[in-house]
Structure 1
Amino acid sequence: MINNFKILQVCVFAISLLNIGISHGQSVQAPPADHISASIPSTMPAIFPAPVSMEIGKGNFKMGTSVTLIYSGTVDQGTRSLVSKVLADAGVKSIKQAKKLPKAIDGNYILIGTHVAPNVLDGLKKITSTLDTNASGYTLASKLIDKGSVVTLTAKDANGLYYAVQTFRQLANRPIFPEIVVNDHPALPIRGTIEGFYGKPWSMEERERHLNFLSTIKANTFIYSPKDDPYARDRWREPYPQETLKSLEKLAGIAATNHINFVYAISPGPTVCFADSNDLRTLLSKFAALRAVGIHSFYVALDDIEYTKWNCELDSLTFGPSGAEAAAMAQAHLLNAVQANMKAVDPTASPLIMVPTEYYDAKESPYKAALRKHLDSTIVVQWTGTDVVPPAISISDARAATKAFGRKTFLWDNYPVNDFYQSRGRLLLAPYTRREAGLSGELSGIVSNPMNQEMASRIAVTGLVAFAWNDKGYDAEPTWRFAARELAGWDKQATEALLTFFDTQRLAPIFGSHPWQAQAPKLKSILDNVQDVIANGDTENRKQVLAELSKTAASFVGAPAVIRNGKVDKAFLAEAKPWLDAMYLWGKALESTVAGLQAANEADVKAGQYFEQAAKFSKEAAAIQSIPGATRFDGPVMIADGVLDQFINKAPKLIVF
């Protein structure tokens, strides 16, 4: 629980710090080591995910080039490495070590340890009386004391301490570090991604980068479940080649360092014989081989399979005629045996996870009733919401799922996955939204099913994890902007260019014909206003609004180059290449359209030439195709479709002379 916060008023002294060093995160130039007067106003920092509680004091200080670290023995190597990286990125050149705070504080001191570390708690008492004692929670507190400053990071457990350092990372890369007390903990115990899409799987290198990314946003789960890994689905009975096992071992090690649970998922459903003891032994043998390389969490996927027929005669003899109810009984039989084995050989491992054949909606059915009755109550069940790709998820939806499956479900959110036909030609870059605050009370966790494009998926994943961390404090648009800043390397111009690009990719399709997020809302608002002024204004009004639209078109045309020439990761540039190419051409089409409207507004006969030029650019843009094989369905890339193309087509008829 979090105690009441008390701010202590302090005097602020100006000091000079020694020359001292170590790095992660936002690329902001570190300031010199002078303390700053309390007369400079303090501003509330923006931390993502949003903390549960955050209060600032009046003072500020600069991290400077020298700090003294006070570690307790409870700090693991992954957290220590992260601290070193954070400090290096913040510009610290020299780091000293001490066992406890001196009586007189004469420099920047950072204390790090769990609640069993008395030296850290003694330092915390100099700043605040509050302490977050939740699982994976932490308290970060800082204050100017004497001629220096003290920053304390403490938590109940190792995971919480790691998250404290991730918050410290964001604060340390600000120009000034505020006096602050942060008490924080996750709303949901499971947060992250499931690589569960069809089509081209991520490479091992992409998975490594994704694990490192997940750590920065306080995610704690990565589920390895690529549909096109033959050894996890079609050839699940075969052991992995040693080379692949070594790669999986490396991933598991990176995940552990980043305090992320690496979960291995297998999909035996298309061929498994549920009653066959040989198949059970094969499954357990597969898990044992993976356990030997450091993977301790497992998952059995039974989605996208038939339950109207058995794969073997033994199942018919054991469970009766095929059908939904018999399938659930058979699945429970196998999964219960796997869970029992896991508890016996690895008692500290997290429970088995499964995704059922009826993984969407929460309607009562013979399958769900049988699964609810026969499945071990400790096994975690995944659910995708009210549909495979739901337009929204409410608290009442989750409660219905709890009733249907007999336990709180683990949400598999199919966003921003783009492996279905309606998503062809799209990157899905909208803010993560339309999930109701309070869902954390009705779910056991949330993971995102991302796109085949790992870097591009980070925009939505950042939002999903922020929601899972603090759903009641989650704000979609600021989190979306934060994700853009992170991708842009905190370059302001590149961030704005990315947001312009993201606006062209905001449409969020479902399996039906009505998307759950509309396309290009910012651009549509601008173009709608232009049409309104053309329809209702005079010549001068039209001239003014078209001049503004000309600036918008210039920014649109220039955005791809700004994105490519800035600090944006090259992997994203490669993933987004055809979309950026098409955006440039659509921008040229918009520029020509504006020129045509401006000419028409002046009764200039050149208007027709401009409109013809716009049509030419539009045709070239519309012909650009997505990268062959990058996604399950190829097709022409979409840029603000239904908004920009319609305006360009309509423009020649808006002003006639």
Structure 2
Amino acid sequence: MKRSARRLGPPLLAAALLTAPAHAATRPAIFPAPTELTLGTGTVTLGRAVTLVVAPGTDPATVALVERILRTAGVERIDTARRRAPGPDRVRIVLGTSDAAPVRAALAGTTPDTGREGYTLVVAPATKTITLSGHDADGLFHAAQTLRQLVRRTDLPALTIRDHPAMPVRGTIEGFYGKPWTMAERTRHLDFLATVKANTYIYSPKDDPYARDRWREAYPAATLAQLGTLAAAAARNHVDFVYAISPGPTICFSAPADLQALGAKFDALRGIGVHRFYVALDDIEYQKWNCDADRAAFGPSGAAAAGKAQAQLLNAVQAELTRRDPAAPPLIMVPTEYYDAKETPYKAALRQYLDPKVVVQWTGTDVVPPAISIPDAKAATKAFGRKTLLWDNYPVNDYGQTTGRLLLAPYARREAGLSAELTGILSNPMNQEAPSRVAVTGVAAFAWNDKEYDPDRVQAFAARELAGGDVRAADALLTFFDTQHLAPTFGSQPWQEQAPRLRVLLDHVRDTLAGGDAAARRGAIAELARAADELAAAPDTIRAGVADASFAEQARPWLDATALWGRALQQTAAGLAAADGDSAAASRYFTAAQRLAASAAAVRTIPGATRFDGPVKIADGVLDRFVADAPGLIAPPDNAPVE
């Protein structure tokens, strides 16, 4: 006989609660989302002492990372061994690539992931063993980053993770105009990229004179040494350091001397540990030649001739890279027409003449695309004659429409399945390195597993990471992110709206006041007051709670303005609450709100920190409009004087 869900529900739920084990394993949230995660039965507690079994040949940087992770998790004693053997009754952590004997023994029947950069992580309560197995050294490093997230829990659930990235290339290109990052900021960025399993950083600051205007000149010794230190930091983080040069404004494509100058520059960088190179030909005039020799070699100037000339140069560079090292990764280039997939004479020439090994970057359907679909990527493949590497101009804020903005909306509107049509994604970040991590976390997560990507969950993860696990700081960051949610394009229409969370609340208050119900009105105003308190308090909570102080410093004007806007909203809520019975008090509150709003609107960006300076924008079009409209939302009582 079929029994009703009503009769089964509560009794079965009560029985389950009574019989559930005290330490039932629950599925952890791992970012980027793993390809495959299977939950088992039981849990493992690390305790204060563990045995670390390190397989021969394991990268010392990965071993050091695992040891730091364990000590941060409260492990006080770490005994190391070369093989998995019986020992004290403590947790053993086995670390190595999947072909190492201790790792094969520890996996004991679990088939390891075989994808490039793949890893397998097994938590086995029965043997008190945690196994980190990498298909290669990069995969093992990624396994350690997953362990970093797992050990934040007191009890690690029994599980098996088999995981690898969907896209081969994932990371950032420092390709913005304006003040470049400092070497210290770049180093912190490389450390961050490691935590989100990104594997590529392209050094391409537009304002490095030795990479663009004076590209033929050798770097000063001190600068070259700094770049070497940066390349070493990238290697330690299993991130490919790619050096980009931008010779387009002055190069003579047919001149042997210029080809030699490129080779000399790359030789110098190869000497400090850089092994991957990039030639940028974006944002240049390609309808006229820089030298008469190119006219003689390629004929009259024009788009098709430029495509042929560029291909000839790039092919020569690629051939030289291969001659020096047959296993060298391919050259990367960004074309002059990088911003759409329309068929043109330039693209046709590039497609016809460019060596198929050379990687081509593409920014999508526009310089700042509102969305990218699978058909868009397929069109780019057809136009350039190869799958492209996406240069995504988000969250870069070096163009006029971004003046006064941090771009903190989650990475979105890129279609699941793009991993089959692209060779990877590189984000062009903001002048502000630490705030850029919010969107870049999403780019890395999408490129790792686009089919399981959830922008809102990943943004919440980014907040928790910036907050170092501080729950109050993470909540305050999400409140702040909402005020910086607008994502502009080169046109007049943004591709992400401003302050969607705050807009819902303020629209609810407007609608409730319009309904005229007194009790509902009081409830809505109380809700508004609570939100205003959270907004006003968020900046101080963020400053006190973020794990990296550079976030608060780089976001300082926006945090200052947010605090003022929060106080303006507090005064606005107080004015609405007073309007029912004390119009004079309401007027004072509303006047105070207007003064605070004016002060907030006058806060400006840090001079020189961003390409375009100007007043900072905080939930503009949402918060400012509500504060301005609020005095007219509730009429004074009949017996109150009208001011």
User: What is residue 120 of structure 1 aligned with on the other side?
Assistant: 103
Once the two structures are TM-superposed, the CA of residue 603 in structure 1 deviates from its matched residue by: 5.1
Letter in 1 for 2:599: E
SS at match of 2:278: strand
Offset from partner CA, 1:435-457 (integer Å, 9 cap, x none): 00000000011000000000000
Which whole-Å CA distance do the structure 1 matches of 2:609 and 2:316 have between them? 38
Q: Are positions 1:452 and 2:435 aligned together? A: no
> Which deviates more from structure 2 when the two are superposed, residues 452-461 or residues 114-123?
114-123
Q: What is the number of residues matched between the two proteins?
A: 617
> Which deviates more from structure 2 when the two are superposed, residues 151-160 or residues 368-377?
151-160
User: What is residue 369 of structure 1 aligned with on the other side?
Assistant: 348
User: What is residue 248 of structure 1 aligned with on the other side?
Assistant: 227
Which whole-Å CA distance do the structure 1 matches of 2:45 and 2:125 have between them? 11
Asked whether the equivalents of residues 121 and 131 of structure 2 are also in contact (C-alpha less than 8 Å), the reply is yes
SS at match of 1:111: strand
- The counterpart of 1:178, out of the listed 147, 154, 157, is 157
User: What is residue 77 of structure 1 aligned with on the other side?
Assistant: 60
Q: Are positions 1:134 and 2:115 aligned together? A: yes
Letter in 2 for 1:85: R
Offset from partner CA, 1:363-383 (integer Å, 9 cap, x none): 000000000000000000000
Once the two structures are TM-superposed, the CA of residue 566 in structure 1 deviates from its matched residue by: 2.0
Offset from partner CA, 1:376-429 (integer Å, 9 cap, x none): 000000000000000000000000000000000000000000000000000000
Letter in 2 for 1:418: N
Asked whether the equivalents of residues 140 and 181 of structure 1 are also in contact (C-alpha less than 8 Å), the reply is yes
- The counterpart of 1:328, out of the listed 291, 307, 322, is 307
- The counterpart of 2:50, out of the listed 54, 67, 72, is 67
Letter in 1 for 2:50: V
User: What is residue 193 of structure 1 aligned with on the other side?
Assistant: 172
Which whole-Å CA distance do the structure 1 matches of 2:613 and 2:167 have between them? 36
SS at match of 2:583: coil
Once the two structures are TM-superposed, the CA of residue 522 in structure 1 deviates from its matched residue by: 0.3
Letter in 2 for 1:504: T
Which whole-Å CA distance do the structure 1 matches of 2:53 and 2:197 have between them? 23
Which whole-Å CA distance do the structure 1 matches of 2:34 and 2:519 have between them? 50
Asked whether the equivalents of residues 546 and 552 of structure 2 are also in contact (C-alpha less than 8 Å), the reply is no
TM-score by length of 2: 0.95
Which whole-Å CA distance do the structure 2 matches of 1:435 and 1:462 have between them? 14
Which whole-Å CA distance do the structure 1 matches of 2:240 and 2:390 have between them? 16
Which whole-Å CA distance do the structure 2 matches of 1:619 and 1:603 have between them? 25
Which whole-Å CA distance do the structure 2 matches of 1:382 and 1:83 have between them? 35
SS at match of 2:555: helix
Which whole-Å CA distance do the structure 2 matches of 1:476 and 1:433 have between them? 6
Asked whether the equivalents of residues 542 and 601 of structure 1 are also in contact (C-alpha less than 8 Å), the reply is no
Structure 1 runs (4+) deviating above 4 angstroms are none
Letter in 2 for 1:509: P
- The counterpart of 1:629, out of the listed 608, 611, 628, is 608
Which whole-Å CA distance do the structure 2 matches of 1:279 and 1:488 have between them? 48
TM-score by length of 1: 0.93
User: What is residue 145 of structure 1 aligned with on the other side?
Assistant: 126
SS at match of 1:605: helix
Offset from partner CA, 1:332-381 (integer Å, 9 cap, x none): 01000000000001222210000000001100000000000000000000
Matches within 5 A, 1:495-574: 495-574=474-553
Letter in 1 for 2:325: D
Q: Are positions 1:279 and 2:262 aligned together? A: no
SS at match of 1:606: helix
Asked whether the equivalents of residues 192 and 214 of structure 1 are also in contact (C-alpha less than 8 Å), the reply is yes
Q: Are positions 1:90 and 2:69 aligned together? A: no
Matches within 5 A, 1:164-563: 164-563=143-542
Gapped runs of 5+ residues in structure 1? 1-36
> Which deviates more from structure 2 when the two are superposed, residues 90-99 or residues 375-384?
90-99
Asked whether the equivalents of residues 198 and 444 of structure 2 are also in contact (C-alpha less than 8 Å), the reply is yes
Which whole-Å CA distance do the structure 2 matches of 1:115 and 1:587 have between them? 54
Which whole-Å CA distance do the structure 1 matches of 2:582 and 2:123 have between them? 66
* Sequence identity (%): 59
Offset from partner CA, 1:526-545 (integer Å, 9 cap, x none): 00000000001312211111
Gapped runs of 5+ residues in structure 2? 1-19, 637-643
CA RMSD of aligned residues (A): 1.2
Offset from partner CA, 1:119-157 (integer Å, 9 cap, x none): 2111111xx5232111111110011125xx001111221
Asked whether the equivalents of residues 494 and 568 of structure 1 are also in contact (C-alpha less than 8 Å), the reply is no
Which whole-Å CA distance do the structure 2 matches of 1:331 and 1:109 have between them? 56
Asked whether the equivalents of residues 44 and 123 of structure 2 are also in contact (C-alpha less than 8 Å), the reply is no
Distance 1:603 1:541, change over 3 A: farther
